[in-house]
Chain A
Amino acid sequence: MTEVEIIQKLQRGNEQAFKELVENYQKMVVNTCFGMVHNIEDSEDIAQEVFIEVFRSIHKFRAESKLSTWLYRMAVNRSLNFIRDNKKNKWFQSFEDAVQSKNAELSRITTGDSENPEFELENSQRAILLHEAIDNLPQNQKVAFTLSKYEDLSYQEISAVMDVSVSSVESLLHRAKKNLQKKLYVCYKKKCI
């Protein structure tokens, strides 16, 4: 089924078309959300919300942009909303919950090939450090960086998703990398790892 056929069938309420749409774009949406929230369970939950929104509002889709662009936009917006809500909830989160979520994140990163636990631990610390550095970027820089690094999108594609010019995307990515480099250098000096 082509993209156009999927959209047309989905607009008529065809369930098989919805299944095919989810299968085709699941990895892309989950990956984008993961780049934003850095947690696989949360990113799957957000991706599900994205597909539910697609199912409910497919009749509004006028094919002025690509379906993937529409999905990327929804994934980014939903992830940003999730991060905003999570920040609010953090004030009310108990210390135990915070520790539990950190441990869960650590164990998620370290599970897998455990032949070299030292290497695994170092990698997990690197991952946490990198996630924190990305999270501290200004919002637009973070979105541009995530789409570029996690999804390998071109400047043109990122500009379509973010609704900004290509030169703006270029500038955002340049600043994002500089900021990231600065944060990683500070951490290297402090011997974080």
Chain B
Amino acid sequence: MKCKTLHNKLIFFLEGELPEKEMGLVKTHLSECGTCAAFAEEMRKTLGILEAEKSPAVNPFFYTRLKAKLENQGSEQKQVFWKPALVRVLQPAIFSILLLVGIYIGIKIGQPASTKQYTATLMHNQDIPYLNEMASETIETSLME
């Protein structure tokens, strides 16, 4: 048996899945070839990790933690029950109202002052006759008093 052939069959040899005749051939090769024997040993050790990992220690608090998680998820579900309604209906409604209010305020601020009111004020000012105090009373008269 060639080394390459053995490399293809080694895992099945280690698992005892080869026919009897091939098992014999692999055994013979391993006893003769040091390199393949070293690889076989390495492979056996690595695959042996699987056996060691098979039974992890049982966590004694597993059920307690599970129960707490179950209760937490239950209360979370109750809390968020009304949230979709809030998100889908109330939120857009509130944003729309805010937008409309903003637009209204914007229009009000941007509107030019009424021209009618300005004209009325101007006319009222024109009614008052211009009084030139200096013409009716000279400065000398004023100082004399």
Question: By DSSP majority rule, is chain A's interface helix, strand, loop, or mixed?
Answer: helix
Of all chain A residues, which has the CB nearest B42?
Answer: A188
- Which residues of A are at the interface with B, using a C-beta cutoff of 8 A? 19, 22-23, 26-27, 30-31, 34-35, 40, 43-44, 47-48, 51-52, 55, 123, 126-127, 129-130, 149-150, 177-178, 180-181, 184-185, 188, 193
Q: How far, in whole Å, are A22 and B62 apart by their CA atoms in the complex?
A: 9
How distant is B39 from chain A, measured CB to nearest CB, in Å?
A: 6
How distant is B131 from chain A, measured CB to nearest CB, in Å?
A: 83
User: Does the CB pair A52–B73 fall under 8 Å?
Assistant: yes
Contact partner of A185 (CB less than 8 A), chosen from B7, B45, B63, is B7
B27 close to chain A: CB less than 8 A: no
Contact partner of B63 (CB less than 8 A), chosen from A19, A27, A178, A188, is A19
User: Does the CB pair A177–B39 fall under 8 Å?
Assistant: no
User: Does the CB pair A178–B11 fall under 8 Å?
Assistant: yes
Contact partner of A177 (CB less than 8 A), chosen from B11, B58, B59, is B11
Q: How far, in whole Å, are A10 and B19 apart by their CA atoms in the complex?
A: 48
Question: By DSSP majority rule, is chain B's interface helix, strand, loop, or mixed?
Answer: helix
Contact partner of B50 (CB less than 8 A), chosen from A43, A130, A181, is A130
User: Does the CB pair A181–B43 fall under 8 Å?
Assistant: yes
User: Does the CB pair B66–A126 fall under 8 Å?
Assistant: no
For residue B15, which residues in chain A have a CB less than 8 angstroms away from its CB? 177
Number of residues from B at the complex interface, CB < 8 A: 28
User: Does the CB pair B54–A178 fall under 8 Å?
Assistant: no
User: Does the CB pair B54–A126 fall under 8 Å?
Assistant: no
Given contacts A48-B66, A180-B11, whether A185 and B46 have CB atoms under 8 Å apart is no
User: Does the CB pair B42–A193 fall under 8 Å?
Assistant: yes
For residue B10, which residues in chain A have a CB less than 8 angstroms away from its CB? 181
7 more contacts with CB within 8 A, not counting A177-B12, A188-B39, are A22-B66, A26-B62, A52-B73, A130-B50, A149-B50, A150-B54, A181-B11
Of all chain B residues, which has the CB nearest A123?
Answer: B49
How distant is B37 from chain A, measured CB to nearest CB, in Å?
A: 12
Of all chain B residues, which has the CB nearest A26?
Answer: B62
Provide the B79-97 mask, 1 if CB < 8 A to any CB of A, else 0: 0000000000000000000
For residue A177, which residues in chain B have a CB less than 8 angstroms away from its CB? 11-12, 15
For residue B69, which residues in chain A have a CB less than 8 angstroms away from its CB? 48, 52
Query: Can you identify 18 A-B contacts, CB atoms within 8 angstroms?
Result: A26-B62, A27-B56, A30-B56, A30-B58, A44-B59, A48-B62, A48-B69, A51-B66, A55-B70, A129-B46, A130-B46, A130-B47, A177-B12, A181-B11, A181-B43, A185-B7, A188-B39, A193-B42
